[in-house]
A and B are shown apart, each in its own frame.
Chain A
């Protein structure tokens, strides 16, 4: 396989031949491996290397893109021509940039986990699976465990002399316990970062006890409830609506936060931070997808909107500086805007204290259907949930098959108390979301 430097030289040569002066080469290589189990054995092991090169260039003031996984010199010349041609059909006259580089780049607080060998992944997946089965005689078929690793190498080189490189990676594990008690089935899962047994084995307890706790779940009456949304569920809601913090969404009328900088948009107990160097954020980089230095910022501080998130083009349109939040879904994508580690900062209440404050209500431990039941443009959501009753200030009986409905903007304003333990979701690319449990009053619930 031809190495990157050779392909880069071909691209530079092709760009010169086409008379292209402003361009960027974005290269990404992803390595991944995972082992998974069925019953008492490793049922599957997979590993792969993928990735490619994206060439983008400014032609007639417009940015054209083309990408490929075909790593041959001939393809590099094709790539340049395709990007140049694509630019010709674009009508967008927003100012576009090839970035010369930031004066200073920050320091990562976490480097890539060491990529484990196949034997470790398989052995630890099997150990996790056996541990999950051992937790209860009710654990049955359908129970699966997985241990995985991934690593990403990113390069950005451009005609302004920028040459940046980043390697990030993580390992993790997952177990899903299926239990059957008196003919009733239930399941639950837990995941963690890290693939050592000290990280993995505690997952079994959580998954099995979580699944057993769902047995005998009842239905609830429709109505208005005070609810506690668990941290893992709240980070999911935050992720589903994270595009409302994008400066581009605001400019296009797709976020109701447009023009609200400096205004109160959430309860005063809410601070939301984007911290690329959060030590719990496993996939760290010092630069964004345009090569701009990333940094920590409060998006909402004590309820006040401090900033939206920007790339270079949308920052220019808004008359502000880039917040270093340019992103790419994959090497082939056009530049978008995403947070790195967007988290609701912890409050002072333990879960038990939140139960006591609510006295009577619902504790939501499962939210499903966010990909379909959350409308980014309106903020409306209506999603399937499961959880527990809160009775007499304590966690009570399990409940299932109900929906909660509301509006994300309204939800931010209705949070009255914030828990003290932040829970993190699984990273997707360089983005991860996190939140503690939150208490929200008067939410519409549909049940039986």
Chain B
């Protein structure tokens, strides 16, 4: 990692145009990806990412520059460009960096390395072969095992000097089922802020079978009928609905510039009183967890909504300046080439008062979304859309035939009010979230919930 005295000089140079704050984010990461398709390991590649991002503030004006040239000369050139672009005058500063140690709350036992490539390939193969062997109608299985070993250093003009290392592992298996005339898919893709010890608790064979089972279910499913109906969304990745429909509207990125339906609503009741939501970056080994955020703040557990009342936004340093509220440990970026902004970590609805069996029994006609796909939202209007990866009709309080091709649309404020039953089997799922600062790993979660009056897209 970079010498502290060089960093002090670079920070001073970045502030020499009159900036009131400067920050250096240095990264060296090693990622690897093993792919399986057509009954064999198809490709393996790895990549070393190495670069530095330099950011300066003058009030709420920011300049961000990134470079792969990590020599002192390269960094000074980059800092000089930042100073020139921020403008505003000249500032004389004295910066003394002092190291801050943050405890590692996500220890890793089996760090992925070149010598473990064969071992990792065998794990992936075991999962994919289990999917292929699940049913003779499975005609193709694709899989990928990805690891990332990320080392970062953050230094800023307030004297902060901090380093961190995080290791993530994820497996994604996708199965295609065919009856000779049409194809259907199923997938499973768990991951964690862990090394390869992740597979001690998550057997690859089980993950493969889950993907295959879903593909067969969808092959036998009928097309979902369209219309407004009551929807029960299962625990775990079902939490993606809150993530998209409401979570993004609570990020300073949109709140601070007034482009969020949730702006100005702190302390107001915005959801059914059964709804309490937290964003928690401290869950040990959680896919969206971290020791520190990408501005060097310790990860935190923030209550966003408590019994229906909006308690907190998710705020990064720039958002903090704009909103006059403290940072919340939510600043994140894909890598050094992205300027950080406020992002979610692991966001989930907590358990509520309703028994799961009562939720299903209460629905006369509706949809049971057992597994959600991805979605997106317009934070301004709260309008969202989601695909349902595995769904079933509910009739007279009973889960009936499987349906395919369903999507859910609505607005965030509407669903928060319309979540009227919250179950007791809270669990988390894993996803990648794309936004201004790139694609970052996030956890999403909830117990089984019931929502009324949701528009279900189908045929």
Contacts and interface: CB of A to CB of B under 8 A. Distances in A.
Interface of A: 1, 38, 41-52, 63-71, 75, 82, 85-87, 89-93, 118, 140-142, 144, 178, 185-187, 222, 252-254, 256, 332-334, 368-369, 371-373, 375, 377-378, 380, 382-384, 400-406, 444-448
B260 to A, nearest CB: 8
A67 B45 contact: yes
Nearest to B141: A252
B85 A118 contact: yes
A347 B12 CA distance: 60
The 3 closest A-B pairs by CB, nearest first: A403-B457, A142-B259, A372-B374
B43 A92 contact: yes
Contact of B337 (A48, A63, A332): A48
B50 A405 contact: no
Contacts of B64: 44-48
A403 B410 CA distance: 10
B372 to A, nearest CB: 9
B285 interface: no
A90 B61 contact: no
A42 B61 contact: yes
A187 B68 contact: no
B183 A253 contact: yes
A444 to B, nearest CB: 4
Contacts of A41: 61
Interface stretch (B205-213, B271-279, B378-386): B378-386
Contacts of B455: 401-403, 446-448
Contacts of B339: 44, 46
A373 B387 contact: yes
A377 B374 CA distance: 16
Q: Label chain B's interface by main secondary structure.
A: strand
Contacts of B266: none
B67 interface: yes
A90 B381 contact: no
Nearest to A330: B47
A194 B360 CA distance: 55
Interface in B63-78: 63-69, 71, 74
A437 to B, nearest CB: 22
Nearest to A49: B67
A241 B375 CA distance: 17
Which residue among B74, B184, B410, B455 has the maximum number of chain A CB atoms within 10 Å of its CB?
B455
A69 B373 contact: no
A375 B405 CA distance: 9
Given A44-B339, A373-B385, A68 B185 contact: no
15 contacts: A42-B61, A50-B66, A51-B68, A69-B50, A69-B51, A141-B257, A142-B258, A178-B259, A254-B140, A333-B45, A371-B374, A372-B376, A378-B184, A446-B226, A448-B455
Interface in B403-421: 404-407, 409-411
A405 B74 contact: no
Contacts of B307: none
Interface of B: 28, 34-35, 37-38, 40-51, 53, 60-69, 71, 74, 81, 84-85, 114, 117-118, 121, 139-140, 142, 176, 178, 182-185, 223, 226-228, 254, 257-259, 261, 337, 339, 373-376, 378, 380-381, 383-387, 404-407, 409-411, 455-459
B458 A446 contact: yes
B423 to A, nearest CB: 24
A88 B53 CA distance: 36
A52 B50 CA distance: 9
Contacts of B228: 448
B46 A383 contact: no
B259 A445 contact: no
A68 B28 CA distance: 10
Given A253-B139, A401-B410, A89 B65 contact: no
Contacts of A403: 226, 385, 407, 409, 455, 457-458
Contact of B227 (A67, A69, A89, A222): A222
A253 B46 CA distance: 27
B140 A253 contact: yes
Contacts of B456: 446
Given A369-B407, A446-B455, A447-B455, A254 B176 contact: yes
B46 A382 contact: no
Given A140-B258, A254-B176, A375-B185, A86 B63 contact: no
Nearest to A39: B257
A36 B278 CA distance: 32
A44 B257 CA distance: 13
Contacts of A140: 258
A171 B109 CA distance: 47
B62 A185 contact: no
Contacts of B258: 140-142
B457 A446 contact: yes
B44 A253 contact: no
A378 B185 contact: yes
A261 B155 CA distance: 58
Contact of A68 (B47, B62, B223): B47
Contact of A47 (B60, B65, B114): B65
B98 to A, nearest CB: 28
A372 B375 contact: yes
Given A52-B47, A383-B407, 14 more contacts: A1-B71, A41-B61, A48-B67, A63-B43, A65-B45, A66-B47, A71-B68, A89-B41, A185-B381, A333-B45, A368-B385, A372-B385, A403-B385, A405-B459
Contacts of A368: 376, 378, 383, 385
A369 B65 contact: no
B2 to A, nearest CB: 13
A5 B234 CA distance: 56
A44 B44 CA distance: 38
Contacts of A380: 404-405
Given A44-B339, A50-B66, A444-B226, A332 B41 contact: no
Nearest to B404: A380
A369 B60 contact: no
A312 B66 CA distance: 36
A384 B457 contact: yes
A385 to B, nearest CB: 9
A64 B378 CA distance: 42
Contacts of B60: 38, 43
Nearest to B37: A252
A222 B257 CA distance: 36
B323 to A, nearest CB: 13
Nearest to B223: A405
A346 B406 CA distance: 32
B385 A67 contact: no
Nearest to A118: B85
A59 to B, nearest CB: 12
Contacts of B41: 89-92
A43 B318 CA distance: 10
